[in-house]
Amino acid sequence: MDRSVSQPEYFHIFLAETQEHLLTMQRWLSVMSDHPEDREALLCLFRSLHSIKGMAASMGYKGLAKEAHDMEDGLDRLRRSGTLSVEAVEHLYHGWERLEERLADISAGFPESRQEAGADDPQDRLHTLRISMPGGTVALWILLVNELMRLGTLQSCRPEPEKIAEGALPAVMDVDLLCRFGIDDIEQRCKKICDCVVVESTMRADSEPVLAIQHGVGQATVRVSTNLLDRFVGLSGELLTVRHRLRASLKQGLQEEIEGSCLQLDRLLADLRQQVLDARMVPLEAVTAPLPRLVRDLCRSTGKAIRLNLVGNEVRLDRAILEAMSEPLVHMVRNAVDHGIDERGTITIAARRDRDRVTLDVIDDGRGLDPQWLVERARQDGFLEAGQDAYLSGAELLQLICRPGFTTAPRITETSGRGIGMEVVRHTVDKLGGTLQILPGQGQGVCFRFILPLTVSIMPVLLVEAGGQTVALPLMWIEQTLDVPRQQLRSFDDSHTVDLGNRELPVVFLSRHLGQSASTGNGSSTIICELRGGHAGLVVDAVTGQKEVFVKPLDFPLNRIQGLSGATILGDGRVVFLIDPCSLLPSPLLIPSKGDNL
């Protein structure tokens, strides 16, 4: 009998611990690529391999245990030679990849006998599918294509992703997908992109060239220390005590006791919230660990000499945010290698904590982005009309590369050039409630700055009134609030600005975006928000307060409304929608400015 089946209670522990050991192996393999004589790295590899072998054997996964044992034997022979050659390190990487593939199959529930059958296993079958997504945007269709590529080998896609990126939204998409999953599983994965996706099986059509698979990373579990679990138990006990005290005080009508218990309850809930957030936090290393190998492989295929520098790998973010950022980081690194750096240079990924958010910079010291060249390319490809660039700031000009179909690559390669990736990157960041800034490098190169929230569940918001409705704005995007009299707002065509002395700020009326009429009174509050590397002001009728709220995701069809990123319930029972200024204002505001400060 398969011991793994008889011990389901240990299965998830086994997966989490084995994945952690694989991550450790990947980190030390990266060290050994640069320093093959490093004895500490060699010993750490041994320890991780030995742990994987022991856990796999105890769970009954003989194939995985044998793979780890053979790799351990080979490593022992290499250790006796005193140093490792470049070829030996590459063999170790291939062994690590085989371990990862075996663990992925075990996680998916496939028997180990399947792993011995190779690529021609009959469980890997071709599906000819017709996929529909009513009302799907460009970014959603591209995300859907990426999800299919994760499931298996996408042999054909009609219409092509390039056509979709150019704005040709399909009524249906026909694909030939070679994968191990059934139709129901495929549809379930696709519905993670949008609930309205429908997947149907059709007769096979002629195939087209194969597109490469892109594997996602991230696990559905996180490791929690016993100390944290002990704190959870302690907090639960304290909460029960406060509940009993509140009930007794209510029965006796002791107002002071009730108020004191409520204050204690506030403190305990704040502590509980922080502990829960800590439990979900994962170090950045969980998604940056594969990148050194990716850079080496790309350098080998392109003949370039590029070094990857990782700073701040210990910075921790919510697991859900890290999983979502895995693919954007891979795309940014591919872009930098393919057409950011010409022959040799350095890519730096640096993270730092800034209060309730994390700043993540992806920097290369290549040739950078020439704004004038971007303007000429945008005119040539139909993204800008003549003279339109005069109304754009320097930061907004750099944001042109995020337009669907816009590319800086002179030709299409295996890694980039279709003008799809940056739009998907920006869409992912917007969905997380973050922002993407594109900054010129110091001297040369370019910096892609991701500003991300620590968590997507609980956040501080500013409650405002606009058009008779109460809505919430995330505090992380608000720089300041100003009381600006309505008569100080200047009109320009159908737009408005406000003169702040050192700059002229574009402003929009939030009530109009909510489908309501703007207030006609003289009073006005202008909230200055950070938007895609620039600033804009949202005019609201009143600011009513600041709260920390639990944000609930929206279901279909509310999740299709542009500008809404979630909802929360206030203490009085009212449902309040969370407004995302970045997605509410998706394109640059074309208004004249006094300088390059918009």
pLDDT in tens, 251-299: 888 888 888 888 888 888 878 877 877 777 888 888 888 888 888 888 8
Q: 41-50, 57-66, 493-502: which has the minimum mean pLDDT?
A: 493-502
Q: Burial letters for 52-88: b for 16+ Cβ neighbours within 10 Å, e otherwise?
A: bbebbbebbbebbbebbbebbeebeebeeeeebeeeb
Q: What is the pLDDT of residues 296-343, one digit of tens each?
A: 888 888 889 999 999 998 888 888 888 888 888 888 898 888 878 888
d(CA 94, CA 71) in angstroms, rounded, equals: 10
Q: What pTM, to 2 d.p., does this model score?
A: 0.58
What average pLDDT does the segment 82-110 reach? Answer: 78
Residue 145 has pLDDT above 60, yes or no: yes
Would you place residue 370 in the very low, low, confident or very high pLDDT band (cuts 50, 70, 90)?
confident
The strands making up 125-132's β-sheet, listed across from edge to edge, are 152-158, 172-179, 125-132, 198-201
pLDDT score for 153:
79
d(CA 441, CA 105) in angstroms, rounded, equals: 42
> Residue with structure tokens 């620590």?
454
Strands 435-440 and 344-354: unpaired
Residue 543 has pLDDT above 50, yes or no: yes
Residue 357 has pLDDT above 70, yes or no: yes
Residue that wins the pLDDT comparison between 488 and 64: 64
Would you place residue 213 in the very low, low, confident or very high pLDDT band (cuts 50, 70, 90)?
very low
- Residues in CB range of 301: below 8 A, 6 or more apart: none
Residue 47 has pLDDT above 80, yes or no: yes
Beta strand residue intervals within 102-223, DSSP E = 125-132, 152-158, 172-179, 198-201
What average pLDDT does the segment 443-458 reach? Answer: 81
Q: 185-194, 473-482, 545-554, 583-592: which has the minimum mean pLDDT?
A: 583-592
Helix or strand holding residue 351 (H, E): strand 344-354
Closest alpha carbon to 323 in 185, 423, 451, 221: 221
Q: How large a percentage of the chain has pLDDT more than 70? A: 78
Q: 48-57, 129-138, 394-403, 470-479: which has the minimum mean pLDDT?
A: 394-403
Q: At residue 370, what are phi and psi to the nearest 5 degrees?
A: -90, 110
Q: How far is CA 165 from the centre of its chain?
A: 20
The CB density around residue 240, as the number of other CB atoms within 10 Å, is 10
What average pLDDT does the segment 63-79 reach? Answer: 81
pLDDT score for 594:
35
Average pLDDT, the chain: 76
What are the structure tokens assigned to 218, written together?
């991230």
Residue that wins the pLDDT comparison between 426 and 450: 450
d(CA 317, CA 122) in angstroms, rounded, equals: 40
Residue that wins the pLDDT comparison between 219 and 295: 295
d(CA 376, CA 205) in angstroms, rounded, equals: 40
Residue 349 has pLDDT above 90, yes or no: yes
pLDDT score for 533:
52
pLDDT score for 238:
84
pLDDT score for 6:
38
Quote the Cα angle for 396-400-404, to 5°: 140
Residue that wins the pLDDT comparison between 300 and 209: 300
pLDDT score for 532:
53
Would you place residue 214 in the very low, low, confident or very high pLDDT band (cuts 50, 70, 90)?
very low
Residue that wins the pLDDT comparison between 474 and 382: 474
What average pLDDT does the segment 429-446 reach? Answer: 77
pLDDT score for 361:
92
Which DSSP symbol is given to 468? T
Which H, E and C letters describe 124-144, residue by residue? CEEEEEEEECCCCCHHHHHHH
> CA-CA distances (angstroms) from residue 148 to 13, 191, 325, 346?
28, 11, 18, 32
**In DSSP terms, which residues pair with 577 in a beta bridge?**
471, 567
pLDDT score for 377:
78
**Inter-residue contact 282 to 19 (CB < 8 Å):** no
